[in-house]
Amino acid sequence: MSIGGSILLIAIGAILRFAIETDRTIGSTTVEWGTIGLILMVAGALGLIVSLIMMSMASRRTTTVDRYDTEVR
């Protein structure tokens, strides 16, 4: 999951958690949008943490090339 995807999940979760106050009944099941929003925010936060860890590990894998002048003067 990328950083942008993680932020999107957190934003959608926050909207569901804090902006929607009603519960919907779908068939015989009650959907609690606040709980779904909380789950999305937690998943987005975990994805963001994993993405940042992966980015920091990738930056450590850089290699340097030493160049020597072999021409004799």
pTM for the full predicted model: 0.68
Domain assignment present for 69: no
The CA radius of gyration of the chain, in Å to the nearest whole number, is 23
Residue 62 banded pLDDT, cuts 50, 70, 90: low
- Cβ contacts of 54 within 8 Å, gap of 6 or more: none
Domain interval for residue 37: 3-22+32-60
Domain count, the chain: 1
Q: Closest by alpha carbon to 10, among 1, 24, 55?
A: 1
∠ Cα 12 16 19 (to 5°) = 115
Domain assignment present for 7: yes
Assign residue 62 a region: left if phi > 0, alpha if psi is -120 to 50, beta otherwise? beta
What single letter denotes the amino acid at residue 69? D
Mean pLDDT over each residue of the chain, to the nearest integer? 82
What is the average per-residue pLDDT within 26-55? 87
